Amino acid sequence: MTAPTDPTDQTDQFDQTAPDRLIEELRATVQMKDHLLQMVSHEMRTPLVSITNFASTMLRAWDVVPDDDKREYMEIILQQSTRLSRLVNDLLAVARLEAGRLRTVTERVELREVAQETVTEIATGGADISISVADDAAVTADRDHVKQILVNYVTNALKYGRGPIEIASEADGDDVRLWVEDHGDGVSEEFRPHLFEKFSQQEAAHEKVGTGLGLSIVQGLALAQHGSAWYEHADDGARFGVTIPRG
Amino acid sequence: MADAVATPTISVVTVDDAVAMQKLIKLMLELEPDISVIAQAGDGRAAVDLAERHQPDVVLLDIAMPVMDGIEALPLIRDRAPGTRVVMVTGFGTPALREQCAALGAADSIDKGSIAGTIVDAVRRAAAA
């Protein structure tokens, strides 16, 4: 009695392409990890350079730096600390979303109030941001998550879009559509399918800045509210929004 | 009465798209009696224009910037301001990047991470070259 020699019999029981696919997936995971480490290092380093060097230089030259300048430099230290803090929060949010451990506290959320808080917190230097959210516009959701969505969208509009910027909402059946609109160039058609992916950043004339996590966090938070994140392109700008159940 | 001897001043143009970094570099340099920041730019194209207009002793040039980055601006600055020495200021300076900058005519490269300890010496060295 001889062992089967026809290789076709063995092939039917084993997917020959599985190891290659697994290798490719592992390679993609390693690349993503390397990208994440590089991105985090760069994004953390930039504000840390400002903070440590302003602080050490001011200490060295405290007696010769004018008081007005000292105040300005302290404000920069505070601003860069806030930037660093946001980065850490983004990374934690991504980690929790990935692990399915996002804590959600559901309550009635007054959208106009959240929009106003967002503008107060984010808008500096006379940024032109208006709010067209009805007084009674509300959803059942986690308030901090809704605010984080608006913070991320408004931050992006300020960074990559063009004013005037508007936060607006409208009822849509059992849901509420909430969005941030700007009058910039919007997102290219090729990039739109990747908009809410992790580390996605549209190529621009200059090197990409930021983590590329903001919109993936928005999508994760929107899903956590049983809603969805979306993008709408217009000739004169773009709308980045979420649809959340009224509850 | 002997005339006071004026300390020769090294004229510097600084280029960085981050406003905080611009203010920091200006603060560090202007604490030195022999260095004067005469102009600042936020992108490579403005840097080339300022270098041509002012013919400074040294340009401190960031790399990653909008409109025109430092790598593209470097040879243009060298062409329009032949007497100006350019010191590149990098966020993450790899040996390959430093070599590329040197080949394009940069006098030196310094890293933003250790900027406090290196920027003043780098400016003086470049001016003396």
- What is the identity of the amino acid at B15? V
Residue A185 has what pLDDT?
A: 86
Residue B77 lies in a domain: yes
A21-52 burial, b at 16+ Cβ within 10 Å, e below that, comes to eeeeeeeeeeeeeeebeebbebbbbbbbbbbe
Please tell me the predicted confidence (pLDDT) of residue B45.
Answer: 95
- Chain B residues with CB under 8 Å of A64 CB are 31
**pLDDT score at A229:** 96
Which ranges of chain B have pLDDT less than 70?
1-7
Domain with CATH 1.10.287.130 in chain A: 18-99
The C-alpha atoms of residue B87 and residue B104 are separated, in whole angstroms, by 12
Give all strands (DSSP E) within chain A, no chain letters.
106-110, 129-132, 138-142, 165-172, 175-182, 228-234, 237-245
The mean pLDDT of chain A is 85
Q: Which domain holds residue B22?
A: 10-128
Do the beta carbons of residue A182 and residue A163 sit within 8 Å?
A: yes
Please report the residues numbered 84 through 143 in chain A whose beta carbons come closer than 8 angstroms to any beta carbon of chain B. none
In residues, how long is chain B?
Answer: 129
Rg of chain B (C-alpha set):
14
In chain A, which residues have their Cβ closer than 8 Å to the Cβ of B70?
none
pLDDT score for A10: 55
State residue B59's pLDDT score: 98
Check CB contact under 8 Å for A206 and B23: no
Overall number of domains in chain B: 1
Q: What is the CATH number of the domain that holds B24?
A: 3.40.50.2300
pLDDT at B2: 47
Domain presence at residue B67: yes
* Cβ contact B115–A49 (<8 Å): yes
Average pLDDT for A123-151: 89
Residues, chain A: 247
Instruction: Search chain B and give the residue with CA nearest A66.
Output: B27
Which chain B residues have a beta carbon less than 8 Å from that of A73?
23, 27
Percent of chain A with pLDDT strictly greater than 90: 44
Residue A207 to residue B68: CA distance in whole angstroms: 10
**ipTM over 0.85 threshold:** no
A207–B64 C-beta distance less than 8 A: yes
Q: In terms of pLDDT, which residue wins out, A43 or A183?
A: A183
Distance from the Cα of A176 to chain B's closest Cα (Å) equals 37
**In the predicted structure, residue A18 carries a pLDDT above the cut 50:** yes
In angstroms, the separation between the Cα of residue A207 and the nearest Cα of chain B is: 6
CA angle A212, A202, A31 (to 5 degrees): 55
Residues of B in contact with A57 (CB under 8 A): 24, 27-28, 31, 116
pLDDT, residue A13, reads: 63
pLDDT digits (tens, 9 = 90+) for A61-111: 999 999 999 999 999 999 889 888 888 888 888 888 888 888 889 999 999
B61-73 b/e (C-beta count within 10 Å ≥ 16 → b): bbbbbebbbbbeb
Nearest chain B Cα distance for residue A121, angstroms: 19
Measure the CA–CA gap between A136 and A119, rounded to whole angstroms: 19
We find that the CATH architecture of domain A18-99 is Orthogonal Bundle (1.10)
To the nearest whole Å, the CA of B79 is away from the closest chain A CA by 23
Mind listing the pLDDT tens digit for each residue in A177-215?
999 999 988 888 888 888 888 766 655 433 445 567 889
The token duo for B23 is: 């203010």
* A157: pLDDT strictly greater than 70: yes
Beta bridge partners of A237: A234
Let me know: does B84 contact B107? Beta carbons within 8 Å: no
What does the buried/exposed string (b/e) look like for A139-173 if buried means 16 or more CB atoms within 10 Å of the residue's CB?
Answer: bebbbebbbbbbbbbbbbbbebbbbebbbbbeeee
A60 contacts in B (CB within 8 Å)?
31
How many Cα atoms occupy the beta-carbon half-sphere of A26 within 13 Å?
6
- Report the top-level CATH class of A106-245: alpha beta
CA distance B18 to chain A (A): 10
Contacts of B65 in chain A (CB under 8 A): 206
Which residues of chain A form CATH 3.30.565.10? Answer: 106-245
- Specify burial of residue B5 (Cβ count, 10 A radius: 0-12, 13-18, 19+): exposed
Return the pLDDT at A3: 53
Q: Tokens 């938070």 belong to which residue? A: A221
